[in-house]
């Protein structure tokens, strides 16, 4: 390997790690090694197979592996020997107290320590509590003999990838945030240069990303604060939608009018069943937990979570109001993933609602274009092959995830399959007139 081609190692090849390693290798000028403890996952990726659903990634991965710049392995020796920059991309699932579980970060640091050398930059991309950069540095130092400890650096580089659009989010970000000491930041910024300058095939030089450099702790806080704000925006939309229903206003008219103000903006100002997924709930809870460590109560953040959970309970109340008794009723749920474009079921509103329906004695059939298996505790749910099969003999249909194909469904086919006539549009994406023309009652959120 020439001096002009740095070696990058990515520890952890889950969602963020797979995207990070593939995109850096695709951009060129570097040799990338993806390291995972799971031989199955590393083997799948090495063959160009993606173990999760992400549009465009299988083709992108296969194309990149063919260049010879990207290798996946379970061998720390192969991946970490002579690595110039090491990205930590391991999972940090939420613990019972709201704080993230950092055992995978700790394990990754201990694996990495023996391979550190002078000038190695350790980049934390895992979402970790504020102050974890210092903790990782201490872990690494404590794993090394004091006498000849190499001069390495730790940089925080939070990821802002959205499931379903992750490749675009990596290559065309609004900003790249790097936190740490100047020399470490410079080295990592150099890796991002093709992205910052949009100097690659298909780049968009008319809209260059912003490079934001901060201290280590500020970069870690930025990740949490960004997700907390987006989650709060959705919860705000849901709170206004609830008030609209009470006074007879229409949230579909009110919220776009608010969002037309550039200071507010339209994205994420969408009422519905609320947010789910692996980030928003985990990150808001982590910020609240951080505050409590310092005796600080984060009232706004706590309310953001409460409003979100209330949306799930509100759906059950609405079904009870319309159907009276849920016991013995058949409910069809359209969409299971927490949002379109992914097969991720983590904290998916649909699953929470289904559990509540089953507890109330209802029978549930469900259809999702991508999700084909459910957790063991939902074995009572009948997974249908399409929308019509899910709606068969249903007393009510609930649209829980706004997959685009649900907007193209023929309402009359659904009406013919159903026993009842109630359609709960949990995402406000169906055309109420078209569905009403088929003899169905459409009830949305906030109108």
Which residues are tagged catalytic? 279
- β-pair partners for 213: 178
Beta carbons of 272 and 238 less than 8 angstroms apart: yes
Rounded CA separation 301/232 (Å): 7
Specify the DSSP class assigned to residue 265.
Answer: -
Cα gap 187→210, rounded to integer Å:
17
Strand-pairing partners, residue 87, are: 10, 123
Instruction: For residue 234, give the nearest of 428, 431, 430 by alpha carbon.
Output: 428
SS3 24: helix
Please give the Cα distance from 289 to 278 (Å, whole number).
17
Contact 147, 117 (CB under 8 A): no
Contact between 416 and 393 under an 8 Å Cβ cutoff? The reply is: no
Q: Give the residue from 171, 159, 160 showing the smallest Cα distance to 200.
A: 171
CA distance 145 to 286: 33
Task: Say which residues have a Cβ less than 8 Å from residue 333's Cβ, sequence separation at least 6.
Answer: 350, 353, 354, 364, 365, 366, 367, 390, 397, 398, 400
**Burial 413-434, CB ≥16 within 10 A → b, else e:** ebbebbebbbbbbbbbbbebee
Rounded to a whole number of angstroms, the distance between the first and last alpha carbons of the chain is 62
The residue among 128, 182, 177 whose CA lies nearest residue 153 is: 182
Whole-number Å distance between alpha carbons of 42 and 44: 6
Count of beta carbons in the 10 Å neighbourhood of residue 317:
10
Q: How far apart are CA 401 and CA 341, in angstroms?
A: 10
């Amino acid at each position: 390997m020439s001096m002009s081609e740095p070696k990058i190692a990515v520890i952890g090849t889950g969602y963020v790690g797979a995207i990070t390693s593939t995109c850096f290798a695709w951009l060129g000028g570097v040799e990338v090694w993806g390291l995972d403890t799971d031989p199955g996952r590393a083997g799948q990726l090495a063959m160009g197979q993606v173990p999760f659903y992400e549009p465009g990634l299988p083709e992108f991965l296969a194309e990149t592996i063919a260049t010879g710049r990207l290798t996946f392995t379970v061998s720390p020796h192969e991946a970490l020997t002579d690595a110039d920059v090491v990205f930590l991309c391991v999972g940090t699932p939420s613990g019972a107290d709201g704080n993230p579980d950092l055992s995978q970060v700790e394990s990754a640091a201990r694996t990495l320590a023996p391979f550190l050398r002078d000038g190695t930059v350790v980049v934390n991309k895992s979402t970790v509590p504020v102050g974890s950069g210092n903790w990782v540095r201490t872990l690494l130092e404590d794993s090394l003999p004091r006498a000849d400890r190499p001069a390495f650096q730790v940089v925080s580089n939070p990821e802002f990838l959205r499931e379903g659009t992750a490749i675009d989010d990596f290559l065309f970000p609004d900003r790249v945030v790097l936190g740490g000491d100047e020399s470490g930041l410079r080295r990592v910024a150099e890796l991002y240069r093709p992205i910052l300058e949009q100097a690659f095939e298909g780049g968009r030089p008319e809209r260059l990303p912003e490079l934001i450099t901060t201290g280590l702790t500020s970069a870690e806080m930025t990740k949490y604060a960004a997700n907390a704000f987006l989650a709060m925006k959705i919860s705000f939309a849901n709170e206004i939608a609830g008030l609209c229903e009470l006074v007879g206003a229409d949230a579909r008219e009110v919220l776009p009018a608010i969002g037309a103000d550039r200071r507010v903006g339209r994205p994420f100002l969408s009422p519905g069943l609320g947010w789910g997924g692996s980030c928003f709930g985990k990150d808001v809870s982590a910020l609240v937990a951080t505050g409590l460590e310092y005796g600080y109560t984060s009232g706004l953040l706590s309310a953001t979570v409460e409003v979100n959970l209330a949306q799930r309970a509100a759906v059950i109340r609405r079904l009870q109001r319309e159907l009276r008794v849920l016991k013995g009723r058949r409910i069809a749920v359209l969409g299971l993933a927490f949002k379109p474009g992914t097969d991720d079921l983590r904290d998916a509103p649909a699953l929470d609602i289904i559990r509540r329906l089953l507890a109330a004695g209802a029978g549930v059939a469900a259809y999702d274009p991508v999700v084909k298996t459910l957790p063991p505790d939902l074995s009572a749910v009948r997974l249908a092959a399409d929308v019509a099969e899910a709606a068969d003999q249903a007393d009510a249909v609930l649209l829980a995830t706004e997959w685009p194909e649900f907007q193209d469904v023929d309402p009359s086919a659904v009406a013919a399959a159903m026993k009842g006539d109630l359609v709960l549009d949990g995402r406000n994406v169906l055309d109420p007139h078209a569905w009403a023309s088929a003899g169905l009652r459409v009830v949305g959120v906030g109108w």
